[in-house]
Amino acid sequence: MAPTLCFNCKEARALIIRPKNRHKLCRACFLEVFETEVHETITTFKLFYPGERVAIGASGGKDSTVLAAVLKILNERYRYGLDLCLLSIDEGIRGYRDDSLETVKRNAKQYDMPLMIVGYGELYGWTMDQVVEQIGKKGNCTYCGVFRRQALDRGAARLEIKHVVTGHNADDVAETVMMNLLRGDLPRLSRGTSIVTASGASEIKRSKPLKYAYEKEIVLYAHHRQLDYFSTECIYSPEAFRGSARTLIKDLEKIRPSSILDIVKSGEDMAVLVPGETNPNGKTCRSKAAAEDEAEAGGCGSQNGRSSGGEMAAMETQLAENEAAGSRETEIRLPQQPKPGSSKTQKPIKRQVMGHCERCGYISSQRVCKACTLLDGLNRNRPKTAIEVSASMDDEEISSTLARQMEHTQLTNS
């Protein structure tokens, strides 16, 4: 079979088929187009200003590694005048973060950027290993997510940096859209697609320059630039492969490769159609619990958009109770049924007022922020620290034990 030539330069052998338009490109043209498109995203949404100091939330994984590499290139090529640095969070998961932090340290040298590492241990007095020891493996992702959001902000604050960029890609955004449809969560449906989230009070702006980049292209970019990244599943996140929304997205991609950006487009349109929401979604989404949102919207990249069976089951129970209550109600009020059209005139979605956590001063819609609430629970039970010995391991535990063993192998090998 004669090699296909690049759609762009018509000279070199095509190696890549672009998901968004099926164009076949050679290595050089692909790298160039990928970078140019990220540049277009940055300029269209005016993500940066000259001289701005920007921290790249770096995990050592593919997304943040590609983000750092591309931002370095673009900053030089287009003279953004940005002062870039890497900001990493050490969740304190031995075997998992140790290796990825090594990757980030190498990245810092390769890209000649300063690196700052903020640990859960020093910030909260709890590493994730200790959290898991206390609460078990179920539900620990909630802690990790909530802690991470604040950790990035606090790290940025220490560096006196007001803008953190993260490696969230189009697949992540599409997952969030599908997730929020499945969860029936309209407020998050309206916020989840924003490229910039700024929580007015904390003064730390967040943006996702890779929002329109397909995960597939990010991986290929890393491959063809031979970037140094670290990939593994979090040892505490055994559901990583089973998430409903994520599986759906990957199946969709197989059927119609463009569909990930098609979902992003749908999500952006629907965001405007959520009743009571007036903010233009493509631009800045101000406050309104954006802070707490981001925690939920992942960041570790292994739990993002993944609805575990447990979550769906819990929601099912809740909905069944609502339904039961609702049907009792309708039976009594038989004569005055609401008109079919009246479902359209429902109450606007409750707006949350942002204030500050009275414990730590972090931005929060509650009196006490989520992190402090979680910490309260942990600290109350601190003396207990019972080590759970499980008589029968279920699937989850088996798979995470396996993952842990693999981590050990990895450690001994390297």
Partner 1 sequence: MPAKELTRPCMDCKDAEAILTTRKRSLCSHCFKLFIQFKILRRMDGHKAPPKIQKEYLPSKLLLPLSLGVSSSVLLHILDWQLERQRSNPHSRVAYQLHVLVIEPSTISPSNSSFDSNFEGLQKTFPTHIFTRLPFYSVFEYVPEMKELILEYAGPQFADDSSQSDEARLAAFRGSVSSATSKDDLDNVLLTRLVVAFAKQDACETILWGDSDTRLSAKTLAGAAKGRGASLTWQVSDGMSPWGVQFEFPLRDINKPELQQYKSVCPELSNIVIPDQPIPDNILTKNLSIDELMMRYVETQGAKYPGVMANVSRTANKLQAAGSDDPASCALCGSLVGNVKGNTGITVASQFGESQGSQFCYGCSRSRPEIKS
Partner 2 sequence: MAETATGSSTLPITVEFTGGLELLFGNERKHNVALPAQLKDGSQPNISYLLGYLVDNLMQDQRKDMFIMEDNVRPGVLVLINDADWELEGEEMYELQKGDNIVFVSTLHGG
Cα four-point dihedral sign 397, 58, 43, 110: negative
- Interface region with partner 2, contact rule CB under 8 A, candidates 187-195, 299-307, 336-344, 347-355: 299-307
399 touching partner 2, by CB under 8 A: yes
266 touching partner 1, by CB under 8 A: yes
Residues that bind partner 2 (rule: CB under 8 A) add up to a total of 49
Q: Which of 54, 261, 295, 371 binds partner 1 (CB under 8 A)?
A: 261
Amino acid at 190: S
- Interface region with partner 2, contact rule CB under 8 A, candidates 59-67, 122-130, 134-142, 372-380: 59-67
Q: What is the chain's length? A: 414
Strand ranges in 263-395 using DSSP code E only, listed in sequence order: 284-286, 355-356, 363-364
232 binds, among partner 1, partner 2, none (CB under 5 to 8 A by kind): partner 2
- Contact status, residue 279 vs residue 147, Cβ threshold 8 Å: no
3-class SS at 366? coil
Amino acid at 60: G
Q: CA–CA separation, 195 vs 212, rounded Å?
A: 9
3-class SS at 340? helix
**Nearest to residue 301, comparing CAs of 59, 19, 56, 115?**
59
- Contact status, residue 178 vs residue 16, Cβ threshold 8 Å: no
Query: In this complex, which beta carbon is closest to partner 1, that of residue 75 or of residue 258?
Result: 258
Q: What is the DSSP letter of 353?
A: P
373 touching partner 1, by CB under 8 A: no
Query: In this complex, which beta carbon is closest to partner 2, that of residue 325 or of residue 411?
Result: 411
- Contact status, residue 169 vs residue 220, Cβ threshold 8 Å: no
Kindly state the smallest distance separating residue 260's Cβ from partner 1, in Å: 9
10 touching partner 2, by CB under 8 A: no
Of residues 193 through 232, those in contact with partner 2 by CB under 8 A are 215-216, 218-220, 223-224, 229, 231-232
Query: In this complex, which beta carbon is closest to partner 1, that of residue 184 or of residue 377?
Result: 184
- Contact status, residue 95 vs residue 408, Cβ threshold 8 Å: yes
- Interface region with partner 1, contact rule CB under 8 A, candidates 56-64, 78-86, 178-186, 370-378: 178-186
HEC profile of 200-223: CCCCCEEECCCCCCCHHHHHHHHH
Of residues 357 through 396, those in contact with partner 2 by CB under 8 A are none
- The DSSP bridge pattern shows strands 196-198 and 163-165 to be unpaired
Q: Which of 79, 109, 339, 384 binds partner 1 (CB under 8 A)?
A: 339
Residues of this chain that interact with partner 2 (CB under 8 A) are 1, 3-4, 13-17, 24, 27, 59, 61-65, 167, 171, 215-216, 218-220, 223-224, 229, 231-234, 237, 240-241, 246-247, 250-251, 253-254, 300-302, 399, 402-403, 406, 409-410, 413
